[in-house]
Amino acid sequence: MSVSATSPAPVSAFRRASTALSQWIDSDYCPDGADKMRAEPDKVDWVRVMPFVFLHAGCLAAFWVGVSPVAIGTALALYFVRMFAVTGVHHRYFSHKTYSTSRTGQFLLALFAGTTVQRGSLWWAYHHRHHHLHSDDPEDAHSPHVHGFWWSHIGWITSRRNFPTDYSKIKDLAKFPELVWLNRFDLVVPVLFALSLFGGGWLLELHAPALGTTRWQMLVWGFFISTTVLFHGTGCINSMAHLMGKRRFKTKDDSRNSALLAFITLGEGWHNNHHRYQSSTRNGFYWWEIDPTYYGLKILSYTGFIWGLKPVPQSVLDEGTRAEHVASVAAAQRAALVHPEFASLKKVVPAAAAFAVATAAAAQTTVPPKANSPAIHRDVTEETHNMAKKNLPAASAESP
């Protein structure tokens, strides 16, 4: 057997580029094998990520197409509706199966999640499960502690090794060919979605010209800008939810809870909660932790489209309550150490209170009411004045 038959031939730049171009259409196209691609070191594949660069560049077209209230309203609405798809479908259904639905329901959910332009639900679920398995260790594809902020926010999805979906790690999803098809041809839904926005804008242009909305505005604001902002909102969880916020649970990673991130991502900001218990449908474990995705899923469950939403176990809730108490006590102790005046206040405040009570009591006993006094509301100042007048002769006698 010759050496060339056993050693892998070096992959030429042309072959890499043609493979990347083919992957624009067919995400599963890996002529050299997906395992081999996953084993490569991290490196940006510029040809493969051109659609992603184009998505960002398309936002600049806003300077040419202008703006209208309908275009802005569409961009905002599609941000929140599709953030619900990211969190409620990509994450809480496909990645963690925190609720159930029918096979048709799951296909419709995958179509809905496809409009987020965050690749296929199976790719999303595979990488997310990998994140939970290797959180903040060197294997984690998007840990800010291992790879830095920008790589965990955006860099990792441009890396060649992170493009293939490892179907062997998501067998519960890979057994549905319709889901695999949507994952493989993950550009189909985004293109149809963009075209429908363009078509909707055209209809508005023709039938409601008074709105001042054009087909190009609907494409640029509704698709390019809204989708780009949606990507970065989602990316904040990868980059910031392991850096910013509080840690209620002592998980093995550095996940954190942040109300600000929860607002941006409709509840995903309660990331430390989620790392502690991933199977629950809700990420906001307590009533004050706002979790709009959970509320939406709860409402959806009343229709019968989904069911079996999984709760947070009482033992986990109790653990969180105990951890909060311990953290409060520790914070108070730290405050006393860092700000010693707080510690002295503990002595000053009771002493001042005792002094005030004693003074009031003394005022009552040393100034008895006078029966012959015309006033019944005589105050301490008045009495002091009278006492001074009584002592006047003695005081004068001492004067020179």
Which residues of this chain interact with Zn ion, rule CB under 5 A? 255
| Shortest Å, Cβ 283 to Zn ion | 9
Closest residue to Zn ion, judged by C-beta, is 255
Output 215 or 248, the one with its CB closest to Zn ion. 248
Q: Beta-carbon neighbour count of residue 323 at 10 Å?
A: 15
- Give the Å distances, CA to CA, from 151 to 16, 45, 56, 142: 22, 14, 17, 7
Output 183 or 255, the one with its CB closest to Zn ion. 255
| Shortest Å, Cβ 275 to Zn ion | 6
**Residues near 97 by beta carbon (within 8 Å), at least 6 away in sequence:** 172, 279
| Shortest Å, Cβ 132 to Zn ion | 6
DSSP labels, 189-255: HHHHHHHHHHHHHHHHHHH-GGG---HHHIIIIIIIIHHHHHHHHHHHHHHHTTTSSB--S--SS--
Q: Six-digit token pair at 90?
A: 């990509």
Output 35 or 139, the one with its CB closest to Zn ion. 139
Nearest to 310 by CA among 131, 161, 97: 97
The distance from CA 64 to its chain's CA centroid, rounded to whole angstroms, is 33
Question: What CA–CA distance (Å, rounded) separates 287 from 267?
Answer: 12
Output 48 or 128, the one with its CB closest to Zn ion. 128
Nearest to 283 by CA among 251, 321, 310: 310
Output 116 or 255, the one with its CB closest to Zn ion. 255
Output 106 or 273, the one with its CB closest to Zn ion. 273
Output 129 or 298, the one with its CB closest to Zn ion. 129
Report the half-sphere exposure of 328 (CA within 13 A, side-chain side): 6
| Shortest Å, Cβ 155 to Zn ion | 16
| CB-CB contact of 295 with 87 (8 Å) | no
* The amino acid at 21: L
| Shortest Å, Cβ 129 to Zn ion | 8
Residue 291, classed as helix, strand or coil, is: coil
| CB-CB contact of 59 with 225 (8 Å) | yes
Output 204 or 261, the one with its CB closest to Zn ion. 261
Output 213 or 239, the one with its CB closest to Zn ion. 239
Question: What CA–CA distance (Å, rounded) separates 128 from 97?
Answer: 12
Q: 340-366 and 314-338 helices cross at what angle (nearest 10)?
A: 80
- Give the Å distances, CA to CA, from 88 to 183, 186, 209, 308, 338: 18, 19, 36, 14, 43
